[in-house]
Structures are given as structure tokens and as C-alpha cells.
């Protein structure tokens, strides 16, 4: 036996040997006790002794004769004889032919049927005949059951081996699928990595993409909510106009206008996040070139200040610069370092603007003067760029998080949290470092250290 599905064929070989020894049954069969469910797997010959490929399943709870076969196995008997006549025989034939669809030719016309059953470890071998069999036949059946016990052990081992082989094959398929998914994911990660970083990443790609989804979802929710409310208000306004209530309609129109302003605000918020993300993920193709750091720092300082002034005409701040005039040109990508400076300047001016507003609200006795300091200094083969403000500083509990993508100390809607993360990446890509010093309530100072020649 090479495969477990050859059990029926093997059984037929055993049955032919019995017939050759002079036994003349109507049918020979093998029963294998499956489990505690009462099911018995049956392989049987036709009435002419030929092989039956179909496996039948009998159940001890559905027929008394099948129950008797099972009871003998449970009682660990070597063999039993079941002499069936009358109702028991009729019920047995009906169960086999109607429920189990066992093929019959002449057997159903019998008035008597004797079942001789010989047991092995996991089931039994049976023979059905119209008359009782001599003791020699029962003895032969018992001997064949003992031999068949080895056959069934082989059958069971093959089943286990085939199951393991199938499981290994399935596992191999899963491993191949998992390998393919892993390779695809790795390729996607590599592609995204090229877009999301300029040099060393400060945070994992998973945190970054999750942050994007979370950040964009908030303004989109506002847009959706205000859009739905505005639609309801417009329907209400139509009703008021139809009823001739012009004043009420105007009030509703004002509410709609306010909602549209909010939609516009949050739409711009989402737009800013997307633009910030694109800026953060864009791989620089710039080339390093000798650059006047002093001029670059001063240029972006003015750009940042006037940009904020354009949004808030009431804002004013002092700007104090201390540039090292002995500093020679530094080999950098000017657009990228300019972007870093712009981020630091914007944060500095925002910090002093907020503190100025708080001072005005609290009417402090001491006049607060918003100030941003910028300095450059060459130390050995390094150049230091320092940006300091006298705003409210950064709480110590969050200082370690400020370079993480999407982390911001600004209120919702006023910061994407990408500026410092992008700045960190750019500085690291230049072979430099960026550090922060701060005292809550007093100041914040960012120090960029770059190699003079890189």
C-alpha cells in the first residue's frame, strides 16, 4: 500500500484470499471505528466480491445491527456472530440500501443473514452469508483480522503522512505567498522611503503614514460635517423664502456663510498638510555649492518675518543678528538649509507672537518685547547657526518629541508637525547636528552644527 486511498483495494485482496480458502459469503467488508461520534467508516465488496471504491459511513445510533458490531469492539471481543431474521434483517437491509446506498442484487430477498465479525485494534472485518459459518471460517476470519491490523496500521500511518505532506505543501504555499507579500511590501517601503526621507529617518515609516491619515482626517471631518449642516440650512432657507420670511432666510444665509468660511479654513488646513507632506517626502536633487551662510540666514529671516506680518499686521518683533564676518562660504545645498532656517524662524516668530498676545491679555506691568536672535560662528572646522526666541519655551516633557514627524506644540489647525522633522533630516543629510535648548516660560534656542566643507 503506497497511498491511503488504496485501503479498499487492499481489502478486496484480503477478501479474495478468503474466498480462495473456500469461504462463500454474500459480502465482505471492513469497518473502522472513527471516534466517539458513533460513526463507522465502511469499505465493502459487491455481492460478487468485487471492490467497492465508495466509502460508506454507518452510525451505531441509526441501526441496531451496526450497534451490535460496535458493542463487540467496545467489549474487546475477538469475534461475534449476529444472526439476523425478521424485523432486524428488514431494518438492516433498509438502512444499508436506502440510507447508505449500498448496492444490492440478490441479498435483499434473503430471509436470513448471518454476520460474522472479527475485530482488530481500530475496527473489524465482517462477512455476510445466508447461513451460519463453520468454526474454521470464523477462525480464518479472526486470523485475517489480526493480519489486517498491520495493514490498517500502515493505512493509518499513510493517512498521517499524507496529511503532514498536504500540510507541508499548504505551509509551503503560504510561505511563498508570505514571501511574495513581504517582498512586495519591502519594495513599497523602499519606494516610499526614497520619497519620505532625504537622509536618516528620525521616525518609522509606519508612524509617518499613520500620522498623515490621522492629521488629514480631522479637517476632512470638519469639511464633511459643515457641508451637511449647510445643506440642511439651505433647505431650511428655501422653506423660509417660500413662506415669505425674508429676515429668517437672511439669518440662515449668514449661518451658511459662516459654515462656508469654516469649510474653506479646514480645506486649506488639509491642503497645508498635503503640501507639507510633499515637501517632507521630496528627495532633494540639489547639488552642494559654496554658500554665504550669513547672507542666507539673513535672507530667510526677513522672508519669515514679512510673511508673518502679511498675515497679522499687528505683529511686531525685534530681530537681532550676530554674524561671524570671518566665516567663509560653506559647502551646502542652499535651498535645503534655507528651508531649515525658514522652519526655525517661523516657529520662533510664532512663539513670540503667542507670548505677546498673552502679555496683552494679562496686562503685565513689565513690557514684553518679542525678540528673535540669529547668529553664526565658526569653531574649528564647524559652523554654528543659532536661532533663539524669548517666547514661552518648550515644556521639558515634550522636548524629546519635537523632531518626530507630526508632533507639534501648536493648537489644532495651526501646525502640521513636519517642519522640525524635515529640518532634522536635512541637517543630518549634510553631516551635521541640530539641538535644542529651552527653559519653559523664558526662551527656546536651536543650534545647527554643520561641517565647513562637506
Position 265 scores a pLDDT of 80
Q: What is the pLDDT of residues 286-307, one digit of tens each?
A: 788 898 999 889 888 887 887 7
Cell numbers of 353, please? 507672537
What CATH architecture is 4-163? 2-Layer Sandwich (3.30)
377 touches 321 (CB < 8 A): no
Position 358 scores a pLDDT of 86
- Given a cut of 80, is residue 413 above it in pLDDT? no
Phi, psi angles (nearest 5°) of residue 206:
-60, -45
Distance (Å, whole) CA 397 – CA 401: 9
Cell numbers of 282, please? 521630496
Same fold, 4-163 and 289-451: no
Q: Where are the beta strands (DSSP E) in 158-312?
A: 289-291
Calculate the CA 333 to chain-centre distance.
39
Distance (Å, whole) CA 352 – CA 371: 7
Rounded to two decimals, the pTM is 0.42
The angle at the Cα of 272, spanning 269 to 274, to the nearest 5 degrees, equals 115
Distance (Å, whole) CA 30 – CA 10: 11
Contacts of 313 (CB under 8 A, 6+ apart): none
Angle between helices 64-74 and 86-94 (to 10 degrees): 90
Alpha-carbon dihedral angle through residues 24, 29, 30, 32, given to the nearest 10 degrees? -150
Distance (Å, whole) CA 328 – CA 293: 8
Distance (Å, whole) CA 316 – CA 309: 7
Distance (Å, whole) CA 44 – CA 277: 73
Reduced to 3 states (helix: H, G, I; strand: E, B; else coil), residue 69 is: helix
Distance (Å, whole) CA 79 – CA 420: 87
Cell numbers of 432, please? 551635521
Q: What is the pLDDT of residues 23-47, one digit of tens each?
A: 766 778 888 888 777 888 888 877 7
Cα R_g (the chain), whole angstroms: 44
Domain coordinates in residue numbering, the chain: 4-163, 205-281, 289-451
Q: Which residues pair with 319 in a beta bridge?
A: 372
Q: What is the pLDDT of residues 152-177, one digit of tens each?
A: 777 677 667 776 677 767 767 876 77
Position 373 scores a pLDDT of 96
Q: What is the pLDDT of residues 57-111, one digit of tens each?
A: 888 889 999 999 999 999 999 999 999 999 999 999 899 888 888 877 766 778 8
Q: What is the pLDDT of residues 326-356, one digit of tens each?
A: 998 999 988 888 888 988 998 899 999 989 8
- Given a cut of 50, is residue 280 above it in pLDDT? no
What CATH architecture is 289-451? 2-Layer Sandwich (3.30)
Amino acid at each position: 500500500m503506497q497511498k491511503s486511498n488504496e485501503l479498499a483495494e487492499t481489502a478486496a485482496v484480503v477478501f479474495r484470499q478468503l474466498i480462495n480458502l473456500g469461504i462463500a459469503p454474500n459480502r465482505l467488508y471492513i469497518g473502522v471505528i472513527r471516534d466517539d461520534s458513533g460513526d463507522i467508516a465502511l469499505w465493502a465488496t459487491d455481492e460478487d466480491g468485487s471492490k467497492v471504491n465508495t466509502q460508506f459511513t454507518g452510525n451505531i445510533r441509526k441501526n441496531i445491527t451496526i450497534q451490535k458490531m460496535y458493542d463487540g469492539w467496545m467489549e474487546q471481543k475477538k469475534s461475534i456472530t449476529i444472526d439476523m431474521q425478521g424485523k432486524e434483517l428488514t431494518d438492516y437491509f433498509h438502512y444499508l440500501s436506502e440510507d447508505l446506498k449500498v448496492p444490492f442484487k440478490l441479498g435483499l430477498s434473503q430471509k436470513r443473514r448471518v454476520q460474522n465479525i472479527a475485530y482488530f485494534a481500530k475496527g473489524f472485518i465482517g462477512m455476510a452469508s445466508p447461513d451460519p459459518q463453520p468454526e474454521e471460517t470464523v477462525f480464518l476470519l479472526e486470523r485475517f483480522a489480526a493480519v489486517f491490523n498491520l495493514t490498517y496500521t500502515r493505512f493509518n500511518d499513510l493517512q498521517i503522512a499524507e496529511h503532514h505532506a498536504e500540510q507541508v505543501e499548504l505551509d509551503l504555499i503560504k510561505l511563498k505567498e508570505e514571501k511574495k507579500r513581504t517582498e512586495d511590501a519591502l519594495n513599497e517601503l523602499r519606494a516610499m522611503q526614497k520619497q519620505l526621507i532625504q537622509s536618516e529617518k528620525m521616525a518609522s515609516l509606519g508612524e509617518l503614514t499613520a500620522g498623515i491619515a490621522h492629521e488629514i482626517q480631522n479637517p476632512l471631518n470638519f469639511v464633511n460635517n459643515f457641508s451637511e449642516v449647510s445643506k440642511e440650512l439651505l433647505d431650511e432657507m428655501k422653506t423660509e423664502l417660500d413662506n415669505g420670511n425674508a429676515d429668517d432666510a437672511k439669518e440662515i444665509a449668514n449661518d451658511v456663510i459662516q459654515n462656508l468660511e469654516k469649510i474653506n479654513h479646514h480645506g486649506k488646513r488639509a491642503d497645508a498638510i498635503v503640501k507639507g507632506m510633499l515637501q517632507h517626502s521630496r528627495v532633494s536633487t540639489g547639488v552642494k555649492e559654496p554658500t554665504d551662510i550669513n547672507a542666507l540666514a539673513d535672507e530667510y529671516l526677513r522672508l519669515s518675518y514679512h510673511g508673518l506680518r502679511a498675515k497679522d499686521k499687528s505683529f511686531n518683533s525685534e530681530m537681532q543678528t550676530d554674524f561671524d564676518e570671518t566665516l567663509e562660504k560653506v559647502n551646502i545645498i542652499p535651498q535645503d538649509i534655507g528651508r531649515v532656517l525658514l522652519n526655525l524662524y517661523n516657529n520662533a516668530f510664532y512663539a513670540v507672537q503667542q507670548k505677546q498676545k498673552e502679555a496683552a491679555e494679562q496686562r503685565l506691568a513689565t513690557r514684553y518685547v518679542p525678540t528673535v536672535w540669529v547668529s553664526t560662528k565658526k569653531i574649528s572646522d564647524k559652523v554654528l547657526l543659532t536661532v533663539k526666541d524669548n517666547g514661552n519655551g518648550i515644556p521639558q516633557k515634550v522636548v524629546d518629541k519635537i523632531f518626530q514627524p507630526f508632533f507639534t506644540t501648536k493648537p489644532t489647525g495651526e501646525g502640521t508637525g513636519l517642519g522640525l522633522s524635515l529640518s532634522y533630516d536635512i541637517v543630518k543629510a549634510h553631516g551635521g547636528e541640530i539641538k535644542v535648548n529651552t527653559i519653559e516660560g523664558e526662551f527656546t534656542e536651536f543650534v545647527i552644527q554643520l561641517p565647513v566643507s562637506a
